[in-house]
Structure 1
Amino acid sequence: MIRPRIATTLVAVLLALFFVFPTVVVIASSFGKGRIVEFPPRGLTWDWYAEIFTDRVWTGAFANSMVVGILAAAMAMAVGTVLAIAASRTRILPPMLVTGAAMIPVIVPGVVLSIGVYVIAVRVGLTGSVVGLAIAHAAIGVPFVFINVLARLAALDRQIEEAAQVCGAGQVTTLRTVTIPIVLPSVVIGGALAFISSWDEFMVALFMNSPTFRTIPVVVWGEVLSGAEPSTSAASAVVTLVSIVILGLAVGLPRTTERKRPQ
């Protein structure tokens, strides 16, 4: 009879393989020498990676995705932090109302959100632009920042802020010199997650694209529809690698901060 611990470990390993295997297939197929996606690949080559880093369509899409992701993450960090502080430190608006507003992008179905963003973008002339898509992706990324910062504020000892105010610091000074530095790692982690969500977001980007402005997921989708080449697998592998690196940095930041903090 299988012991519970062994059974649990076996199930965990099988689930991990189930979720990781598609990524392994994509990465492996990106090295194939054939003109179509094959697994296992027949022969190995780096040519498809050379293509996506030299072809104008791919390089332009990578540049668009990177710029949009950085702008979206920056805006999400600012808005998400403000909303988290408003929900936990002020009473101008009910905390539940602020929380609901911050979490709307998670609650609303993706198709509905995409159509709404597209209609607004058409009216203000922001379709097919970096700024328009960055604003839309920032809205999607706000919940990641909001949840992380709100959790850190909830765990923060209020006596630290009260001590600063007793020493003569006003609310703005306390916020700038005490609260924000403490929650900054959470802000950065939320921003990293917001970047990742923008980096590989497809549905809103599909509605907001134009013949001269497309992001990586949209280009990959178009290539798949017209007959997938290993270059699409190479682009997908790069997207995955960037996401893993960003996620690794986000996870490692709190530990680094704790180690540097004086005991």
Structure 2
Amino acid sequence: MSDNHAPRTLSQRLGWTGTIVAATLVFVFLMAPIIAIVPLSFSSSTYLTYPLPGVSMRWYQDLFTSDKWMLSVKNSFIIGIASTVLSMILGTLAALGLASWKSRLKSLVMAIVLSPMVVPVVITAVGVYFFFAPLGLTGNYAGLILAHTALATPFVVITVSATLQSFDTNLSRAAASLGAPPLLTFFKVVLPLILPGVASGALFAFATSFDEVVTVLFLAGPEQRTLPREMFAGIRENISPTITAAAVILTIFSVALLSCLEWLRRRGEKLKAAVH
């Protein structure tokens, strides 16, 4: 028995070792381009070259003192926050409606709602441009906010719908039986329990808007250039190490968003455990 057990143990160890090695190689492959950018952002050279001729903070200083870059950062936050708020409202209402709707058309409607995630962004951007142009929604904030809302809302629908799978509808029925109107039931009973899902969807929506560049290329005017749009223009027109500084800031920002998502996930699990 021990002889038969030893080969199995050895094969398991070899399997785990192979898995760890493969996962490590994949991780290095994915992270290498990001890690390579970080030292370049501290280079004293005006060219993106290795080895670094010296260390300098000039590109971060240029990023935070340039009117052009600061305007793009401000535009990204304005458009991102506005589209996130709209997508939170629309996505949450859509998820609640779809969760309680019993119809054979439910799958079709869900597919239509989630279609911005499936359709290539360039096709969506072209369609939005031709739809918005006659309405005067190109070259202004309103058009960009509405377009980003359409792209971000599916993420809210998915996260809220996933949270509603474990939601006990008897709680809302109990509130209604005690005389609570629907609006009060939503804010006092439903929303606190699905809040982690709503917040997670909001983070995904904000990240989608903040990182989006294709729609901005079609709809934005000179005053609505976002940070990704400015980086894209810098790569095409004049490659400056300031772009690497912006990339490092965006990477740190993305890590912060992922940390928030992990915290919300744990909070959601604690709420589910408390309810059950």
In structure 1, distance between residues paired with 2:174 and 2:59: 59
Q: Confirm or deny that 1:218 pairs with 2:204.
A: no
8 Å Cα contact 1:28-1:40 kept in structure 2: no
Partner of 1:190: 201
Could you say what secondary structure the match of 1:197 adopts? Answer: helix
Partner of 2:55: 44
Q: In structure 2, list runs of 5 or more residues that go unmatched.
A: 1-10
CA positional deviation for 1:237: 1.3
Within the candidate set 145, 149, 160, 2:160 is matched to 149
Partner of 2:91: 80
Partner of 1:110: 121
Matches within 5 A, 1:1-263: 3-91=14-102, 94-256=105-267
Could you say what secondary structure the match of 1:3 adopts? Answer: helix
CA positional deviation for 1:93: 8.8
CA positional deviation for 1:199: 0.8
CA deviation string 1:184-233 (max 9, x = no partner): 11111100111111111111111112223211111111111123111011
8 Å Cα contact 1:86-1:98 kept in structure 2: no
8 Å Cα contact 1:189-1:251 kept in structure 2: no
8 Å Cα contact 1:52-1:58 kept in structure 2: yes
Distance 1:201 1:39, change over 3 A: farther
8 Å Cα contact 1:49-1:234 kept in structure 2: yes
In structure 1, distance between residues paired with 2:39 and 2:51: 7
Could you say what secondary structure the match of 1:127 adopts? Answer: coil
Counterpart residue identity of residue 82, structure 1:
L
Q: Tell me the matched-pair count.
A: 263
In structure 2, distance between residues paired with 1:113 and 1:214: 19
Q: Greater shift after overlay, 51-60 or 204-213?
A: 204-213
Counterpart residue identity of residue 3, structure 1:
L
CA positional deviation for 1:169: 2.9
CA positional deviation for 1:52: 0.8
CA positional deviation for 1:99: 1.1
CA positional deviation for 1:131: 2.0
CA positional deviation for 1:261: 8.9
8 Å Cα contact 2:196-2:267 kept in structure 1: no
CA positional deviation for 1:69: 0.7
What is the identity percentage for the equivalent residue pairs of Structure 1 and Structure 2? 30
Q: In structure 1, list runs of 5 or more residues that go unmatched.
A: none
TM-score normalized by the length of structure 2: 0.88
CA positional deviation for 1:111: 1.3
CA positional deviation for 1:40: 4.1
In structure 2, distance between residues paired with 1:164 and 1:115: 46
Could you say what secondary structure the match of 1:32 adopts? Answer: coil
TM-score normalized by the length of structure 1: 0.92
CA positional deviation for 1:262: 9.5
Counterpart residue identity of residue 106, structure 1:
M
Counterpart residue identity of residue 193, structure 2:
I
8 Å Cα contact 1:34-1:42 kept in structure 2: yes
Counterpart residue identity of residue 75, structure 2:
N
8 Å Cα contact 1:86-1:95 kept in structure 2: no
8 Å Cα contact 1:88-1:95 kept in structure 2: no
In structure 2, distance between residues paired with 1:93 and 1:149: 21
Could you say what secondary structure the match of 1:235 adopts? Answer: helix
